[in-house]
Chains A and B, each alone.
Chain A
Amino acid sequence: MIAQTSAETVVIAPMLVALVSAVAALLAGRRRRVRSVVALGGVVGYAVAVGALAWTVVLAPDAPGIATYQVGGLAAPFGITLVADALSAFMLSMVATIALASIVFSRRYAAHSGSRTFYYPLCYFLLLGVTGSFLTGDLFNLFVWFEVMLMASYVFVAYYGGPQHTRAAFWYVALNLLASAVFLLGVGGIYAVTGTLNMADLARRLADPAAYGIDPVPVVGLFALLLSVFAIKAGLVPFQFWIPTAYRAAPPPITALLVGATKKVGIYAIVRLSFTVLAGAQIGVSLELPIPGLGVAGDSPLAFVGAALFVMAAASILVGGLGAVGRDSIEGVLAYSSIGQIGFIAIPVAIAATTTSSGLRQVAIVAALVYALNHTLAKGLLFLAVGAVRSATGTSRLAELGGLAGRSPPLAIAFFVGSLALVGIPPLSGFFGKFLVFDAAARAGSAPVLGLLLGGSLLTIAYATRVWNRSFWGARTPAVDEATVDPVQVAVVLALAGAILAVGVGFEPVYRFAELAAEAALDAEGYVEAVDPGGELE
């Protein structure tokens, strides 16, 4: 058995905090005071644990850049390895921010609804699943964390128990069960082909298949299966159809968490598996389509991943943007908008996958990460603002809203900042996200992609303006006149607006962090070395 030092314990700390908080919240049961102390203490502890992880592993002057943890003291590749590098730390910091906002916001939200005993435990299980997905270095373990995350989100989609919530939950559960089956099939296939599921071991074997006596070609097809599962989680077209109903059905603070955390798990999984695991493989890929001129060819499986992502991302930008323009409720617009925005995150990932220049690859990954950060903050803010509007007026339909800006100026300011960040106006975080994505596309020299991004941005401006005009300006409707806005909720939303502004103004350290994360994503050798999968199977 290997004794573990406290420096390594920091890797597992965020998971333990989430797990212990979930159990404590469950034990607190109906006692109101205890429950809110546990809920608040848990998420603050989580943020501190993530901060400590990011600092000791990545940001401190003498940081090692990567740290591993062998659960149960079993050595890799047999035991489960947890790996924290800059990419994991970046994603975790993002999630911790939105989780803090969402759970503080929930304090008032959860107090008014039924079945609130299970609200916080499920929140923490959701958080646990997300954290586990970011930290695990084992493919099957990734599947397990996906399931933990899904179990909690199933309950939240059906939380209010009305007919439309039940219907949304039914589709959500059916789709995700199918996705889980496909995931399991892919994982099983990869194990059959390569003989390992440890990601570092997998990367090592794929880079030099002859030495391990394996034939890596089927991995490309199996990875395509996994890619479709991750695309469902991220909500890329053609797997986007569950998003609008599910996001409308879940409680708004949870929707903020789903959009800020679980969607990003899909993106993270694509980035991690493509660039850390699959990048070293040399497999000829050639896909001929019946239409002349369209086809994929290259000597790395990434060429195939890139092409598939391009198509999905482009379709997402169009479907999301066009869909958002015509919705009749704020949540509807935001849900479609998040389909489009995920497209904006996937485009640079696709550019990184297709290019062969390592410089451009890194620029593109940085762009995707910064855009993901902006999307988490801005979309999280907007969904929380919808929650505040809904608990104040009882509705979020555009036809029944109007003149909210006069009723609650702070809420309107926060919503305005969130919308501008989505559109990408300087000096907010959204500007840098958009700028870096355009920069990556320009460096790749692809005019159609630039045109697509431009069109998507114009659609963003169109629907953001429409929501703002319909609900915050104009004459006050009766629903708005009688509204009383909760100060805690507005404070949370304003704090997020402040965070967006702070990221935009002090962008330099954020950019450095994203750069480190991109380096870590592309450094497959460093990853393998840190995990050290050890000797051969006898």
Chain B
Amino acid sequence: MRTTTRVVVPIILVVAVSLFVEGHNLPGGGFIAGVLTTTAFVVVYVAFGLDFLERGVLGREVEPGKTPSRDRVVAAYRRLFAVGLALAVGSGLVPLVLGYPFLSQSYVVLEGIPIYHHLEVASALAFDFGVYCVVVGGLLTILSVVGAE
């Protein structure tokens, strides 16, 4: 189980990023990328336990099974949720300031970039990133609170 996790988690995260980046032209986007990212976390949780993220990855001292250890992570998840929501709403408000309707989107094509040569930057990416944060933050809060019980 743990060996599989080590192999699978990076793959899941890369696929999530690719889904996120192409979301405005192809199937994909913030929501589905967020869900996929969460599954990577879930696999880690199931294989290594709920405290592993703090102890093993962030290198903090944690007493196993205590609620405060989890609370710190959960508080971070909640913040992610709120910030993501603010980002999504804020990205909708920007066009309003510039004199366009709420949630208007646009894109810029950048030429002459190394490796890519041709890169399309869509303003929808900001909104999508907000959605991504909301999904990851919300799902992980639910999973770690319910999972701890």
Contacts and interface: CB of A to CB of B under 8 A. Distances in A.
Contacts of B85: 23, 26
Interface in B77-100: 81-83, 85-86, 89, 93, 96, 99-100
A73 B98 CA distance: 13
Contact of B89 (A3, A20, A73): A20
Contacts of A20: 89, 93
Given A26-B82, A27-B82, A29-B82, A71 B89 contact: no
A71 B103 contact: yes
B101 interface: yes
B100 A1 contact: yes
A16 B93 contact: yes
B144 interface: no
Contacts of A12: 102
B101 A71 contact: yes
B18 interface: no
Given A26-B82, A27-B82, A29-B82, A72 B89 contact: no
B39 interface: no
A72 B101 contact: yes
B105 interface: yes
A120 to B, nearest CB: 13
Contacts of A3: 99-100
B82 A73 contact: no
A1 B123 CA distance: 14
A72 B105 CA distance: 7
Taking residues whose C-beta sits less than 8 angstroms from the other chain, chain A's interface range is 10 to 19
A26 B89 CA distance: 13
A358 interface: no
Nearest to A2: B101
A73 B86 contact: no
Contact of B102 (A2, A27, A29, A72): A72
A73 B104 CA distance: 6
Nearest to A12: B102
A23 B84 CA distance: 10
Given A16-B93, A72-B105, A23 B100 contact: no
B101 A70 contact: yes
Contacts of A73: 100-101, 104
Given A20-B89, A23-B89, A71 B102 contact: yes
A536 to B, nearest CB: 24
A4 B86 contact: no
Interface string A14-38: 0010011001001101000000000
B85 to A, nearest CB: 5
Contacts of B89: 19-20, 23
Nearest to A6: B99
A90 interface: no
A282 interface: no
A16 B86 CA distance: 12
Nearest to B86: A23
A221 B106 CA distance: 42
B93 A4 contact: no
A70 B106 CA distance: 16
A376 to B, nearest CB: 28
21 contacts: A1-B104, A1-B106, A2-B101, A3-B99, A12-B102, A16-B96, A20-B89, A23-B82, A23-B85, A23-B86, A23-B89, A26-B85, A26-B86, A27-B82, A29-B82, A69-B101, A69-B102, A71-B101, A71-B103, A72-B101, A73-B101
Closest 4 A-B residue pairs measured CB to CB?
A72-B103, A73-B101, A26-B82, A4-B101
Interface of A: 1-4, 9, 12, 16, 19-20, 23, 26-27, 29, 69-73
Interface of B: 81-83, 85-86, 89, 93, 96, 99-106
Given A1-B104, A23-B82, 5 more contacts: A4-B99, A16-B102, A26-B81, A71-B101, A73-B104
